[in-house]
Amino acid sequence: MEQKVAEAHLIQLRMTPRKVKIVLDLIRNKNVAEASAIIKTTNKIACEPVGKLLASAVANAEFNHEMDTEKLYVAECFVNPGKLKYMKRVMPRAKGSADRIIKRTSHVTIVLKERD
C-alpha cells in the first residue's frame, strides 16, 4: 500500500530563499504540533508565511486525504529560487549614477506524511 502524502506550495514569495531556508531547517522531520510551536516562538521574518503554509498543508491532509492530524510530520520541506529569480530595481547614487538592487523571490514546498 502506498503511503498518503499531503503537499502545499507557496509560489513567488517576496523573500530571499536564504531567509526561508533557516526556518525550514528548524521544522524538517518534526511532528506538526512541534513544528507549529517552533514557528510561533522563532523570531524570524519567514515564520509568518511558512506557518500559514504549514497550516494549509495540514488542512489539505485532513480534508483531501483523510489523514490523522495527530500522526502527521513534516517529511520534506524545501525552498527554490523564484521563476523570475529576482526583480531589478534602481537606487540613485552619487554624481547621477545608479546601483541595481536585486529583490529575490522564493518557491516554498511542504510535504506531510503520517507516522506508523
Give residue 116's pLDDT.
Answer: 81
Residues 6+ apart with CB under 8 A from 16: 104, 106
Is there a contact between 107 and 82 (Cβ–Cβ < 8 Å)?
yes
Q: What is the pTM of this model?
A: 0.88
Give residue 1's pLDDT.
Answer: 56
Give residue 3's pLDDT.
Answer: 85
Q: Give every strand in the sheet of 5-13, ordered side by side.
A: 5-13, 98-114, 72-92
Give residue 85's pLDDT.
Answer: 64
Strands 5-13 and 98-114: antiparallel
Q: Which domains does the chain have, with CATH numbers?
A: 5-114 (3.90.470.10)
Strands 5-13 and 72-92: unpaired
Q: What cell numbers appear for 12 in the block?
A: 513567488
Distance CA 55, CA 53 (A): 5
Question: 54 φ, ψ to 5°?
Answer: -65, -40
Give residue 88's pLDDT.
Answer: 84
pLDDT along the chain (116 residues), means of 10: 88 94 96 96 97 96 93 96 80 95 93 92
Distance CA 87, CA 105 (A): 8
Is there a contact between 30 and 42 (Cβ–Cβ < 8 Å)?
no
